[in-house]
């Protein structure tokens, strides 16, 4: 499958959807992340928010204009 601009945006939209779902679980207290015995949930949530913002920038920037 060739990678078109539309495909890139579609993949970004899918990734953004799943990040949003995971963030909702973390923020709702339903998902906790532990690494080496430490609770890293908030740190990971911040990283996820930053990744979501970058994906949303791609989606907003070229989503409607892809050809």
| pLDDT for 54 | 95
The pLDDT tens digits along the chain (67 residues) read: 577 888 889 999 999 999 999 999 988 888 887 878 888 888 888 999 999 999 999 988 886 666 5
| pLDDT for 1 | 57
Q: How far is 51 from 44, CA to CA, in rounded Å? A: 10
- pTM over 0.85? The answer is no
| pLDDT for 66 | 66
Half-sphere exposure of 45 (CA within 13 A, CB side): 18
């Amino acid at each position: 499958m060739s990678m078109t601009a539309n495909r890139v945006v579609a993949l970004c939209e899918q990734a953004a959807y799943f990040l949003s779902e995971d963030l909702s679980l973390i923020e709702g207290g339903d998902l906790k992340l532990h690494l080496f015995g430490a609770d890293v949930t908030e740190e990971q949530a911040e990283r996820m928010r930053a990744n979501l913002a970058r994906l949303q920038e791609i989606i907003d920037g070229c989503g409607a204009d892809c050809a």
